């Protein structure tokens, strides 16, 4: 997919209300996805696709995509995709465990991540994310266990002792 080609977002009809709720939640603060230019392309229960430009913000000193950026991109896909299986007014989705294999370097253009659910439970979900370059070549294989938590759990506390 050429980087100059703009891709239109597809959201399955049954998820449009949930997508609006997510965007309302997301609009309250800037996120890593905003900072790195992550754009969502396809939203459905069986497939969640996003793209991210490779910029100097996320390159190693050698000019290659930083492996940590691939992991953060994939975890973003898994965590956001998990929201479409829960009540986001009451629950949140956060990464619990991640595993990534970086199989090919890439240094420019866009990468595309496709998340697919492996397990959808009440307290955990497991997502697989394949990251590919613009030529469709595999860059990273990623698996993430997502924890489903009460929305107010895990908020940072103001602890003056730290």
Task: Determine the structural domain holding residue 108 and report its residue range.
Answer: 10-150
Q: What is the CATH number of the domain that holds 53?
A: 3.10.129.10
| Total of domains in the chain | 1
- Distance of alpha carbon 104 from alpha carbon 98, whole angstroms: 19
pLDDT at 29 over 90: no
pLDDT level of residue 162 (50, 70, 90 thresholds): very low
Has residue 36 been placed in a domain? yes
The string of DSSP letters for 80-136 reads: HHHGGGS-TTTEEEEEEEEEEEE-S---SSEEEEEEEEEEE-SSEEEEEEEEEETTS
pLDDT level of residue 158 (50, 70, 90 thresholds): low
Has residue 104 been placed in a domain? yes
Has residue 37 been placed in a domain? yes
Answering whether pTM is above 0.75, one says: yes
pLDDT level of residue 154 (50, 70, 90 thresholds): low
Catalytic site positions? 75
Has residue 82 been placed in a domain? yes
pLDDT at 2 over 50: no
pLDDT level of residue 1 (50, 70, 90 thresholds): very low
Question: Which residues are CB-neighbours of 159 under 8 A, at least 6 positions away?
Answer: none
Higher pLDDT, 31 or 90: 90
pLDDT of res. 27: 73
Has residue 160 been placed in a domain? no
Has residue 3 been placed in a domain? no
HSE-CB for 103 with a 13 A CA cutoff? 13
Has residue 133 been placed in a domain? yes
pLDDT level of residue 5 (50, 70, 90 thresholds): low
- Distance of alpha carbon 142 from alpha carbon 68, whole angstroms: 12
Locus of tokens 């691939």: 70
- Distance of alpha carbon 56 from alpha carbon 65, whole angstroms: 9
Has residue 157 been placed in a domain? no
């Amino acid at each position: 997919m050429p980087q100059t080609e703009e891709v239109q977002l597809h959201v399955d009809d049954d998820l449009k209300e949930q997508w609006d709720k997510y965007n309302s939640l997301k609009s309250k603060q800037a996120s890593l996805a905003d900072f790195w230019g992550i754009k969502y392309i396809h939203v459905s229960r069986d497939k969640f696709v996003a793209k991210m430009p490779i910029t100097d913000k996320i390159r190693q000193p050698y000019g290659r995509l930083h492996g940590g950026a691939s992991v953060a991109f994939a975890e973003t896909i898994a965590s956001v995709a998990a929201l479409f299986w829960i009540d986001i007014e009451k629950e949140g989705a956060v990464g619990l465990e991640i595993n990534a294999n970086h199989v090919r370097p890439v240094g420019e253009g866009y990468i595309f991540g496709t998340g697919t659910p492996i397990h959808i439970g009440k307290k955990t979900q497991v997502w697989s994310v394949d990251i590919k370059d613009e030529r469709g070549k595999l860059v990273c294989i990623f698996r993430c266990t997502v924890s489903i938590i009460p929305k107010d759990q895990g908020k940072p506390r103001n602890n003056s002792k730290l």
